[in-house]
Amino acid sequence: MPELHDLSPIAAYDLLQTTSHSILIDIRSAMEYLFVGHPVGSVHIAWIDEPDWDVNPNFADEIEQVLTTRFKETPPKEAQVVLICRSGKRSREAASALLEAGFQHVMHIDEGFEGERDANHHRGTLGGWRFHGLPWEQC
């Protein structure tokens, strides 16, 4: 089975800019995606979402559908899939599920979008996509 690869936010951004058959999937809840913000160009497919906070049973299928639509020349399970969550924990779990579902090139952003909490319990001061000044937006 292929292995999961950890990427820093900067390495992920570079890969996404230079690899034509790559995609960034934001797996956070809809509320996080909309109101906290998200990387520009990311596709939202929640791994766990409200109201019940159960794992999305269609997660791999939904990603495969997006890849099939976006990359007509690349088999969906051979595309470069990069996952992002808040701090890198959920994306690791979701990435493992994709590898088990047969995806060949799955990576996750080890610092996530907001990074770990600092001594004052704030996110965004120690790491993450936003911390590194990468393009993001919010509603």
pLDDT tens digit sequence for 48-57: 999 999 999 9
Residue 5 CB contacts under 8 Å (≥ 6 apart), including other chains: 106, 107, 108
Measured between alpha carbons, how far is residue 78 from residues 32, 64, 69, 83 in Å? 28, 10, 14, 15
pLDDT band at 14 (very low <50, low <70, confident <90, very high): very high
- pLDDT score for 58: 97
> Could you tell me the pLDDT band of residue 31, with boundaries at 50, 70 and 90?
very high
Question: pTM of this prediction?
Answer: 0.95
Q: Domain residues of the chain, as ranges?
A: 5-137
**pLDDT > 90: percent of the chain:** 88
**For the residues 115-138, what does the mean pLDDT come to?**
94
Backbone angles phi, psi at 10, to 5 degrees: -65, -45
Q: Is the pLDDT of residue 131 over 90?
A: yes
| β-bridge mates for residue 26, sequence order | 44, 84
pLDDT the model gives residue 74? 86
Q: What angle do CA 47, 48, 52 make, to 5 degrees?
A: 150
Looking at domain 5-137, does it have CATH number 3.40.250.10? yes
Decide if 35 contacts 138 (C-beta within 8 A): yes
